A and B are shown apart, each in its own frame.
Chain A
Amino acid sequence: MSSETSTVTSEPPPAAVASVSSFNINDTELTLGLPGESRKSGAKRSFSVIMTDLNLGGTDPSDSECSVVTKSPPSRKQLVGWPPVRFSRKNTTKSDCKYVKVAVDGAPYLRKVDLELYSGYQQFLCAFEDLFSCFAIRNVSREMKLVDPANGVEYVPTYEDKDGDWMLVGDVPWKMFVESCKRIRLMKNSEAIK
């Protein structure tokens, strides 16, 4: 992500959150600030994540911000160089990368994302915006959808789990998702949204 969009503030999300269905595309021309903040002119992007209280399956507090995607896991504020472990050792909780294929219905080729890079669904969705720069992310009740504003086609993120079943992304806590996800498919929702 470009540095100008890393203007994450530490303010809590505003109490009144506009309902998703009343957003139009222009509302999505945002900085990465939280909804209700004034837009900074120099930091616009065509599409960006709509910052709502996603309230996904997990309650990871870091999910409340879409910060610049980094490799460092979310925890209390980190001191530089403490504890004194070398970078090569930083992620030995699991294998330090978990690449999964991402397929989009209708796209000619697949992408791969490293799920270990993200600490929650929020950050993860931001990555989709980068990978597939045509999407905006919308949230209808508890489900996540990605929309191609050019034609209003909706895509539903699904994933194949360890048992081989296709599940909806977002139901389980983030860490559980990372553990069980084998690959991801953005399925075209047959209804187009006006």
Chain B
Amino acid sequence: MACSFPEEVLEYVFSFLTSQKDRNAVSLVCKSWYEMERWCRKRIFVGNCYAVSPRIMIRRFPEVKSVELKGKPHFADFNLVPDGWGGYVYPWIVEIAKGYPWLEEIRLKRMVVTDESLELIAKSFKNFKVLVLSSCEGFSTDGLAAIAANCRNLRVLDLRECEVEDLSGHWLSHFPDTFTSLESLNIACLGSEVSFSALERLVARSPNLKTLRLNRTVPLEKLSKILQRAPQLVDFGTGAYSADVRSDVYSGLVDAFSGCKNLKSLSGFWDVTPAYLPVIYSVCSQLTSLNLSYATTQSPDLTKIVSQCHSLQRLVVLDYIEDTGLNTISMSCKDLRELVVFPSDPFVADAIVPLTEQGLVSVSYGCPKLQSVLYFCRQMSNSALISISKNRPNLTCFRLCIIEPRAPDYQTLEPLDIGFGSIVENCKQLTRLSMSGLLTDRVFEYIGTHAKKLDMLSIAFAGDSDLGLHHVLSGCDSLRKLEIRDCPFSDKALLANASKLERMRSLWMSSCYVSFGACKLLGQRMPGLNVEVIDERENINSIPDYVPVEKVYIYRTVSGQRFDMPDFVSIMGKDRDGVYNLS
């Protein structure tokens, strides 16, 4: 089939395709489209840094301006991945520095980023604009200083929940006086104090600054000065929100906030002094996003705020909001799309918290646009889950964490199978699901039957047998990420569904019953998979085949075995040269 459109026209059409999925689909149409697409792809997303090598990426896509990489599996957020596992970005930066000298954007998630990497970024890319590090670790404020000092065109420096070795706040002063291009700065995760005057001067000379998220050390008394320098802010994160109550500070804040006509997102609020909360009332009605999840203040204070946030689309809050607060939200926040409720006291088993399943039911009833839920609570019932599913069939992301593992329906003491079953049956667009509570193999049967659009599933302390895992692997057509902990799943379902694993990004199983032997077999049979056994016991090689592994992480890859593994990680079924071992 000859291509009748001139290339330039096709290229122009392709330039409107921004989603990776669309671009990938386009590249499969025919060889000439593949060629055209690869030359004009500007953004690359690599969901698993070990799935492909940087050289392969650079060879196929020579004109990339933006790279996004993810490293560790999601459960690393909860300390299930031992330190030293991997996810090092440095080898990628080395190759990218050679292959994409005009790279503008780097986004990394759950990767180990060293100061060396940051220094290499700082000096390799003359037009570097955007650095977003989410849940990364391994670097210090010295690395940030290198970025600040060298990236003349930097627009975005966004550190989201990173673990940074905080040597001092002095790094901020490395932004030169001629540096005026800053649009977004998020330093909320840093611990040490930055020079306030350096911060103030930076803000004052950044006319395009739209996002500013301060860290805890910036005192409340000084906040109004910052806001007065940047009334154009759209997204603002306060520092510690506590101070002795003083009328001059109070009125300064009231004036400063009311001057922020474009403010749409607020966060921060550590250590709240409730008396200062009303200063934000003037902007509440324009807020679309509000994160009060560090505000350790009680329901009445929280409720007073949210009741005024009529445009709110995203709310992150602690369970201090209580059912009553959620009820208020269900009546006041009709535009709500995403609700996140974190537990205030996660490790106390029998805490009495006036936040129950009822709060979630009310929000699901009252907020017609609610699509995404992350909810921690201490009791749940099948009837509540059924109500939620019927109220909100448009849910796309449903993550429920009942704090006590294997907690049954608190009313009937039955498993929560039919409740979650109802969720997957009614919410046909569901792409992400995390389950908890008492669950048998039945819930997995429901999931395998109904959850056809499910992309990511998280399971803990659930199921009875391999049948459960088999239902999921054989039934969930769209499943790409599966993470399982403490479930009685073993070898059978895994081996029976081996080919499914090549159509997924990754599978994580820890504290299950998958044996060493099964992992070896899987690794031998499936050359397109890395079957990583993560096991910190001694003398791994002498453990018999029938013994279950501590953790296994299986992912598809075209770059073969990796060579940066610590001694507690083994790639099974392949010898050291990456050839699969048939013995």
Say which residue of B80, B293, B346 sits within 8 Å of A83 (CB atoms): B346
Say which residue of B344, B347, B485 sits within 8 Å of A75 (CB atoms): B347
Q: Report B-chain residues with C-beta under 8 Å of the C-beta of A150.
A: none
Q: Which residues of B373-407 have CB atoms within 8 Å of chain A's CB atoms?
A: 376, 401, 403, 405
- Would B79 and A81 count as touching, CB distance under 8 A? yes
Residue of chain B at shortest CB distance from A78: B347
Q: Closest Cβ of chain B: how far from A117's Cβ, in Å?
A: 15
Decide yes or no whether B318 CB sits under 8 A from chain A: yes
Asked if A86 meets B78 with Cβ closer than 8 Å, knowing A75-B349, A92-B293, A94-B296, the reply is yes
Q: Report A-chain residues with C-beta under 8 Å of the C-beta of B90.
A: none
- Would B348 and A73 count as touching, CB distance under 8 A? yes
Q: Report B-chain residues with C-beta under 8 Å of the C-beta of A86.
A: 77-78, 161
Decide yes or no whether B568 CB sits under 8 A from chain A: no
Asked if A80 meets B348 with Cβ closer than 8 Å, knowing A86-B161, A92-B293, A95-B296, the reply is no
Q: Report B-chain residues with C-beta under 8 Å of the C-beta of A81.
A: 75, 78-80, 485
Decide yes or no whether B345 CB sits under 8 A from chain A: yes
Q: Report A-chain residues with C-beta under 8 Å of the C-beta of B347.
A: 72-73, 75, 78, 83, 90
Q: Choose among A72, A78, A81, A90 the residue with the greatest number of B CB atoms under 10 Å from its CB.
A: A81
Decide yes or no whether B189 CB sits under 8 A from chain A: yes
Decide yes or no whether B365 CB sits under 8 A from chain A: no
Q: Report B-chain residues with C-beta under 8 Å of the C-beta of A75.
A: 347-349
Q: Which residues of A86-123 have CB atoms within 8 Å of chain B's CB atoms?
A: 86-90, 92-95
Q: Report B-chain residues with C-beta under 8 Å of the C-beta of A76.
A: 349
Residue of chain B at shortest CB distance from A89: B342
Residue of chain A at shortest CB distance from B294: A92
Q: Report B-chain residues with C-beta under 8 Å of the C-beta of A94.
A: 296
Asked if A82 meets B460 with Cβ closer than 8 Å, knowing A75-B347, A92-B294, the reply is yes
Asked if A89 meets B293 with Cβ closer than 8 Å, knowing A81-B78, A95-B271, the reply is yes
| A interface majority secondary structure | loop
Q: Closest Cβ of chain A: how far from B508's Cβ, in Å?
A: 12
In which size bucket is the chain B interface?
Answer: 20 to 34
- Would B161 and A83 count as touching, CB distance under 8 A? no
Cα A75 to Cα B346 with chains together (Å) = 10
Residue of chain B at shortest CB distance from A77: B349
Cα A85 to Cα B79 with chains together (Å) = 10
Decide yes or no whether B343 CB sits under 8 A from chain A: yes
Q: Which residues of B340-386 have CB atoms within 8 Å of chain A's CB atoms?
A: 342-349, 376
Decide yes or no whether B270 CB sits under 8 A from chain A: yes
Cα A86 to Cα B80 with chains together (Å) = 11
Decide yes or no whether A16 CB sits under 8 A from chain B: no
Residue of chain B at shortest CB distance from A87: B79
Q: Report A-chain residues with C-beta under 8 Å of the C-beta of B189.
A: 88
Q: Closest Cβ of chain B: how far from A51's Cβ, in Å?
A: 25
Q: Report A-chain residues with C-beta under 8 Å of the C-beta of B376.
A: 83, 85
Q: Report A-chain residues with C-beta under 8 Å of the C-beta of B80.
A: 80-81
Decide yes or no whether A12 CB sits under 8 A from chain B: no
Q: Closest Cβ of chain B: how far from A90's Cβ, in Å?
A: 7
Residue of chain A at shortest CB distance from B460: A82
Decide yes or no whether A15 CB sits under 8 A from chain B: no
Cα A78 to Cα B79 with chains together (Å) = 13
Decide yes or no whether A79 CB sits under 8 A from chain B: yes
Q: Closest Cβ of chain A: how far from B221's Cβ, in Å?
A: 17
Residue of chain B at shortest CB distance from A94: B296
Decide yes or no whether A84 CB sits under 8 A from chain B: yes
Q: Which residues of B471-525 have CB atoms within 8 Å of chain A's CB atoms?
A: 485-486
Q: Closest Cβ of chain B: how far from A130's Cβ, in Å?
A: 22
- Would A83 and B349 count as touching, CB distance under 8 A? no
7 contacts between A and B (CB under 8 A): A79-B405, A80-B78, A80-B80, A82-B78, A88-B161, A89-B293, A89-B346
7 pairs of A and B residues whose beta carbons are closest in the complex: A81-B78, A95-B271, A84-B78, A81-B80, A83-B346, A75-B347, A75-B348
